[in-house]
Amino acid sequence: MVAELTVTIDRDSVAMGDDMESHRRTMTVPTPVRLSVLLARVAPEIRQRGWSWVVDIGGEAVAVWSADHGVRLLVADRELAADSPLGTIVNRYFGQIDPGWLHRRLSEGAPANRCQLEREYEPLARRARAEEDRRRERERPGGFVGEETLAQLSRLAAVIDLHHDRKIAFEVGGVRWEAERSDTMMTIRRDGRPRASLRPHAFGEVWLVVAVVVDVRERRGLRPCPEAPLRAAREPVAVAGRFFLRGGPPDGNLEDDAAVAIYRLAAGRTVTEAGDLIGA
């Protein structure tokens, strides 16, 4: 009769909504089994390349797992028996830290502190993102936003710094705007701070143009939000200081009251109508 080892497994949530149900579960595996083999079997079901997970057993970081490299141990491999003492195996999400870099730093003795390691890795990540953006711009120039949106941004004196098939970045009056595809959403940032994440893409473009209009109007000494008829069919739902649109279209997240005010102006308008608000 084959002896079996029963293990308890858990993992971090990776996004809002992912924590609606517990990820804790148990499973049995035939023994003897090597630690590396066991950890490969209990790896997270979310297998996105470039994402890193630190495997924690009893408070000890024992491995880094990624879809790129699989299990890379931080401790000596060993054979486990049915009666081997083993605490809960927790896959801790470490975001988009490069898994190879993360394994090296933990092997060197760095604490498995996600915030600390993200701060340390950020300059490398920023440089890698910039290099990837320029490569993509060379190979797949333009196309993320349409010609109508480009025309309205030009009307608002936008200076486009980057535009490829998944992202646009530009400046207006010293303020940097970025909009990029994130899964099915368009994510929009102002000077590096998230402002909205919206779908469909076409509505994201309208929201972006209205947001720039509001900024430009304020710099001109006008009321930031013009007195224009509102066409929003529904109001976002407030949860813990943020606002959510569900059951749309449109769907998405809005960061604060100012982002909601922009949504109200954008809803029901075309990109050209959004640009026309500059003179409203």
pTM over 0.75: no
Residue 138 belongs to a domain: no
Residue 85 belongs to a domain: yes
Alpha helices in the chain (DSSP H): 35-41, 99-107, 114-139, 147-155, 201-219, 257-266, 271-276
Residue 134 belongs to a domain: no
Note whether 164 and 118 are same-domain residues: no
Rounded to whole angstroms, the Cα distance separating 218 from 225 reads: 8
User: Residue 256 corresponds to which tokens in the numbers above?
Assistant: 């604060």
Note whether 75 and 190 are same-domain residues: no
> What is the tally of helices (H) and strands (E) in the chain?
7, 16
Per-residue pLDDT of the chain (280 residues; tens, 9 = 90+): 678 999 999 998 876 556 667 888 999 999 999 999 999 999 998 888 888 999 999 889 999 999 999 999 999 999 999 988 888 999 999 998 999 999 999 999 999 999 999 999 999 999 988 999 999 999 999 999 999 999 999 999 999 999 999 999 999 999 999 999 987 899 999 999 999 999 999 999 999 999 999 999 999 999 998 888 898 888 999 888 889 998 889 999 999 999 999 999 999 999 999 999 998 7
Note whether 189 and 256 are same-domain residues: yes
Instruction: Provide the number of structural domains found in the chain.
Output: 2
Looking at 127, 162, 179, which one is the last position of a domain? Answer: 127
Q: Helix, strand, coil shares of the chain as percentages rounded to 5?
A: 35, 30, 35
Looking at 127, 160, 187, which one is the last position of a domain? Answer: 127
Domain limits for position 232: 147-279
Do residues 181 and 144 make contact, with C-beta atoms less than 8 angstroms apart?
yes
Do residues 73 and 65 make contact, with C-beta atoms less than 8 angstroms apart?
no
Rounded to whole angstroms, the Cα distance separating 90 from 87 reads: 9
